[in-house]
Each structure stands twice: as structure tokens, then as C-alpha cells.
A = this chain, B = another copy of it.
Amino acid sequence: MEKENLKKYSNVEECPVRNVLDRIGDKWSLLILLILEEEKVLRFNELHNYIVSISQKMLSVTLKSLEADGLVKRTIYPQVPPKVEYELTERGSSLLPHIHSLVAWSKDNIGDIKQSRKDYELVSQK
């Protein structure tokens, strides 16, 4: 990578990584992807039962943006009361190994990182 390439990353809107991180870096997307990977197909309220601390609004908003990005597929059944099912798309599934790689690194390093944070606090004596 030369300076030219790095310069490109400075342009936030154009950056592919920024686009993807803005998605999975939000509060709920990653969790929803991991749950759907495990459970294959879930309805709105089933997802809500998995993530009790999310509001209906945030679940709805997050699912919509995952759907918009083609990471999650939404199937609606014309019934009353309504039935809507969510599952990963192929694109969503193809992203997950990369996430698991990050998950593994995080688990391996979170202990040391938390210790570093403590040490840093002491050194910068707040």
C-alpha cells in the first residue's frame, strides 16, 4: 500500500470498509447476524426474545438496514396476525467467517486489553 492508497481511505464516503463497519459497528447488527446464523430462521418476536434489551423500534430499524444491504432476507406471510421470517442471505453468511475471526481475536485479547486500560488509567493518574 502506498501513500496514494492510504489517501483514498481518508475519503470516508468512498471507503468500502467504512461502509461495512458502519453497518456491523452499530449496536445491534452483529448480534442479530450471529443469532440468525445459529437459529437459521426466526420471527420478529423470536428475535426479540433473544435480545430482550433491544426495543421493537431498534430491532425493526436494524433488520431493515440489514435487509437493505442484502445480508438478511425477510419473508412475509399474508396471515392475521402477521407472520414474518428473517434469515441470513448468502452474502450475510459469507460475511460471518470474517466476523468470527474478529470474535476469536477479541476473546483471546480482551483480558489483556482490559488490563492495559487499567494500567493506562493509573499512569495518566485521573
Cβ contacts A16-55/B at 8 Å (1 or 0 each): 1101110011110011001100100000000000111100
A-B CB contact pairs (8 Å), 25 listed:
A10-B31, A10-B50, A10-B51, A12-B27, A12-B53, A16-B103, A16-B107, A16-B109, A17-B102, A19-B110, A19-B114, A20-B102, A20-B106, A20-B113, A21-B30, A25-B25, A68-B120, A69-B116, A69-B117, A70-B112, A70-B113, A91-B109, A91-B112, A95-B105, A98-B101
Chain A contact residues, CB within 8 Å of chain B? 1, 3, 6-7, 9-10, 12, 16-17, 19-21, 24-27, 30-31, 34-35, 38, 50-53, 67-70, 91, 94-95, 98-99, 101-103, 105-107, 109-110, 112-114, 116-117, 120-121
